[in-house]
Structure 1
Amino acid sequence: MAWQVSVYELEARLQCPICLEVFAEPLMLQCGHSYCRTCLLALSCRSGPELRCPVCRQVVDGSSSSPNVSLARVIEALRWPRELEPEPKVCPRHWNPLSLFCEKDQELICGLCGLLGPHQQHRVTPVSTAYSRMKEELAALLCHLKQEQKEVEQLIARLVNNRTRVVNESDVFSWVIRREFQELQHLIDEEKARCLGGVEAHTRGLLASLDSQLERAQATRERLGQAERALEQFSNEGHHEFIRKYHSLASR
């Protein structure tokens, strides 16, 4: 007949109801339920003479509980292929395996910590369940991070494309501006040459007119000088000669 459950599922069904760990030295009560030896001893010390089974609540005699040999053999058979695995960490207070996870304090505890210790009223979860949940949360977180990384990669690609586009557009605008200013500079140079040519032509005309007037004025000054010298020379003439020539010389 084929097995209907895996080894891990079988281990989950072989957990002590108190510590929620695979039975260690299982003892069976008169009601038929089994518990780890250390868990049952701790429960007997706490309950006093009247011990009730935590599962069925039936009053039993904890001192007359017998070893569950068949259950111990099954557990030993399950543990044999995995004997090379490292031993689980134990509780420093009760020396039981840390089989539970306290959701409130976010720490690993043993079954007695959850039943008798400071975590009695706290929500506890089996380590395997907490591990599976955290693995799922980690997988979801990794998926979220990969999605964010993908979005960041897409953003970087867009930014790189935008940067390249801006550089290309800047080069085009710079070329257009340089070309426009070259054309403007050419027009300015032409207008400058035209204005300077007009100024030079006007200046040449004014200078020619002034030179002509200056030449005439200088000629007039020369004639006036000659007339002055002639008059000064004439003033030295004798009385009769001066009077005889005066009217004709003054008219000239």
Structure 2
Amino acid sequence: MAKAKEEFEEVSSLEDELSCPICLCLYTNPVSLSCGHSFCKQCIQKALSAQQQSKASYSCPMCKIQLGPILELQKNFQLCSIVKAFLATTSKGKQGKSSPEDEERVPCDFCLDQPQPSVKTCLTCDSSLCQAHLNKHNARASQKDHVLLEAAVGCSAEERKCRQHGRLLECCCEDDREYVCVLCCIAGSHKGHSIVTLKEVHDKELGVLSHTVKQMQENESALINALEELQKSENQLKTNTKTVTSQLVKLFEEIRVEVNRKEQQILSDIQSNEKKQLAGITKLKKKMEQKRDEAAQHLQTLQKMREQPDAFLFLKEFKLAQDRIENQNFKADKIKVVVAELDPARMKKYRSLMSDYICQLDLLMQEVHSK
């Protein structure tokens, strides 16, 4: 039983070595490039054709070495013979890999007909790899030390590399406020500058994030308090209007015959004043509610950033969030409510002087509205 298992593992290992790195099947009509890597003739022709359509120079899909404008695909007779011997011995061929569930992710750079979602990005090879091609990639001893990152939409490998040296951006120059690689710090234009690691910048910005979260919480609390005050003003205005209206209705009932027209005019003025002030309060409430909702949304976004494990993505997203918050005003606005009141002493006096009161009604209402 153990011997059978050992033989199976040997056959599986040999089968992997005799598989095309593009289609992952046993080589069919294998050809070799000048760099020494071999592929199925049809696979490499499709890959090179895709490079030509994108107006890129020809390069090996494995090592990215430039191949020049004129290509010669040399048939690998020895590899072809080995594959035939292997097939004759095992009586089976490598079947195509089944497609995983489609996801909204970066496509694999090595899949041709139907690119599969990539699971890792190799910064050394500058390639995105699906699980099958990642296994091939990791199986090679020469690629064990390559830098692999989680494949992420919205963040390309080029963003993480130094444009001058092509190395991974692992540091930050505090003097120039730029992300740099190790070579930039040692022998590049940032030599002698104040250099810190991305981890240090990440930890520092986490502190800024905490301060921003606290500030947004205070803004949200202030907006909630302002809305409560507005609600109190609205209730006070409605109650006061109801009281004044009741007083005036009672007064006008006593002098209905003589002041009916004036009664309607005064009540209309009061309702208009209420409507005008309520409209202002309603408008301000909507504005405050919008600010509150925006503050809550920003707060949720900032709190979610705590879970971002990728320092680069965190810094990128947090900078955008800071810019959005700085461009918005979260201060609470207030409105002054004009409260109408009637003087009971004057009302008593005007009842005794009915004829004079009719002439004084306009003056009275002017004084009420001016308070």
Q: Under a length normalisation based on structure 2, what TM-score does the superposition of the two structures give?
A: 0.26
Q: Under a length normalisation based on structure 1, what TM-score does the superposition of the two structures give?
A: 0.38
Indicate the structure (1 or 2) with the bigger Cα radius of gyration.
1
